[in-house]
Amino acid sequence: MCAASNRHPTFKASFAERANNATHPLANYLFRLMELKKSNLCLSADVTSARELLTIADRIGPSIVVLKTHYDLVAGWDFHPQTGTGAKLGALARRHGFLIFEDRKFGDIGSTVQLQYTAGNARIIDWAHIVNVNMIPGKAAVTALQQAAARWRSRVNYEVRTSVSVGTPVSDSFDEEDENPTPAPLPSSKELPPPSNLHNNGRKGSIVSITTLTQSFEPVDSPRFASGIAEGDELVYAGIEEPPWERGLLILAQMSSAGNLITKEYTQACVEAAREHKDFVMGFISQETLNSEQADDFISMTPGCQLPPEGDEDDGNIAGDGLGQQYNTPSKLVGLGGSDIVIVGRGILKAASPQVEAEQYRRKAWKAYQTRIGQQS
């Protein structure tokens, strides 16, 4: 563990203080959520069906501040933008108060990661508050994701609906099919061309064609966006507003797996990239805090976390999974390493009662944080 980081002001600062200093709107929100829920726990929801994912998100939601997904290992993921799995997770996130982090580990050239983030069936940016990037391709991947997020952000407040109808207003007119037959025009809609064109001076209706273009702008947070989702999904977690629309990025700066190829220089390059993109990069996936310069206030989220088996002493050492994964306890990661959020998958998912176990992890990780900052519980 890096001694310099342990002397950094953020090591002893409370999450409430760090919320006040945070410049990234989503980091500010997350710190406040952590204080409100007394939780610095992220569930790594590595389950293989959409049904299990939604069930576990609903059950564990009250204990966590972040739900981490790997959407590509989920069978039956419904891609519908308003009623699909992403939208349903979003409704659960609002109800229980957590952010969604898609652990996509983007790792390609800029233009490809932009498309992977915003396009395809999954349209990750629509439902994931946070994503992460593998820095192998270099800083351009971060810049590219930031650009894509900024473009998305500038559009997101308004959903644009355009309907085009072609035909004539006279009785023997023919109508071509509407391109978008569903929505009735909203009150704010403007019609082009003006209605005076509807009089055709007695010319045969079938020759005259009038195009009506209806374009309406609807706030994306309109209740209509919740429609199609089960009743009750409009419920919102009390005590805090809904998250801001700004998206956040975590840089994969260190890994938990044995023999990983990340070097100190590589980690340092990740920190530099984060400093250059502070309005998009919230922090790191790392094994310890990486804050070292005075102005740094990045969030460290740490996977490779488990509690010792019941009755065993917490000496910080836990057996790995036999496939390279290494584990440390919350007290070591948060208390000594200065990590802010622990990421736990199988430690919770494989427990006899995941709900009870999640509460256990929440309490231990929160206690480690309180001890670190010298706060009485």
Q: Quote the CA–CA distance of 361 and 338 in Å, as a whole number.
A: 17
Which DSSP category does 80 fall into?
-
Question: Does 267 sit near ligand S5P (CB under 6 A)?
Answer: no
Gap between the Cα atoms of 44 and 103, Å rounded: 9
Cis, bond preceding 223 (omega within 30 deg of 0): no
Q: What share of the chain is helix, strand, coil (3-state, %, to 5)?
A: 35, 20, 45
Distance in angstroms (rounded) separating the CA atoms of residues 274 and 154: 22
Catalytic residue among 105, 190, 278, 332: 105
Query: Residue 68 Cβ, how far from ligand S5P at the closest point, in Å?
Result: 6
Question: Taking CB under 6 A as the rule, does residue 134 contact ligand S5P?
Answer: no
Q: Which is nearer to ligand S5P, 82 or 134 (CB)?
A: 134
Measured from the CB atom, the residue of 325 and 355 that comes closer to ligand S5P is 325
Residue 282 within binding range of ligand S5P, rule CB under 6 A: no
For residue 332, indicate whether it is catalytic: no
Beta strand 41-44 pairing with 341-344: parallel
CB atoms under 10 Å from CB of 51, counted, come to 12
CB of 221 to ligand S5P, least distance (A): 30
Smallest gap from Cβ 2 to ligand S5P, in A, equals 17
The answer to whether 62 touches 41, Cβ cutoff 8 Å, is no
Beta carbon nearer to ligand S5P, 207 or 352? 352
- Nearest approach in angstroms of CB 134 to ligand S5P is 10
Site string for ligand S5P, 315-354 (x = CB under 6 A): ----------x-----------------xxxxx-------
Closest contact distance (angstroms) between CB of 360 and ligand S5P is: 14
Shortest gap between Cβ of 255 and ligand S5P (angstroms)?
Answer: 3
How many of the chain's residues bind ligand S5P (CB under 6 A)?
16
Q: Which amino acid is at 30?
A: L
Q: Sketch the per residue contact string, 216 through 255, with ligand S5P: x for CB under 6 A, - otherwise.
A: ---------------------------------------x
| Residue number with CB closer to ligand S5P (237 or 284) | 284
For ligand S5P, the closer of residues 168 and 360 by Cβ is 360
- Which of 215, 81, 222, 224 is closest to 160 using CA atoms? 215
Q: Which of 9, 21, 46, 137 binds ligand S5P (CB under 6 A)?
A: 46
Q: Select the residue interacting with ligand S5P from 32, 34, 100, 103 (CB under 6 A).
A: 103
Which of 285, 290, 318, 341 contacts ligand S5P by CB under 6 A?
A: 285
Q: How many residues does the chain have?
A: 377
Long-range contacts (CB closer than 8 Å, 24 or more residues apart) made by 356-363: 358/41, 358/43, 358/60, 358/63, 358/64, 359/63, 360/307, 361/41, 361/63, 361/305, 361/307, 361/330, 362/38, 362/39, 362/40, 362/41, 362/63, 362/64
Query: By the 8 A CB rule, do 170 and 304 touch?
Result: no
Residue (28 or 289) nearer to ligand S5P, CB: 289
Q: How far is the CB of 314 from ligand S5P (least distance, A)?
A: 17
Helix (H), strand (E) at residue 143: helix 139-156
Contacts with ligand S5P by CB under 6 A lie at: 44, 46, 70, 103, 255-257, 285, 303-304, 325, 343-347
Give me the active site residues, please.
105
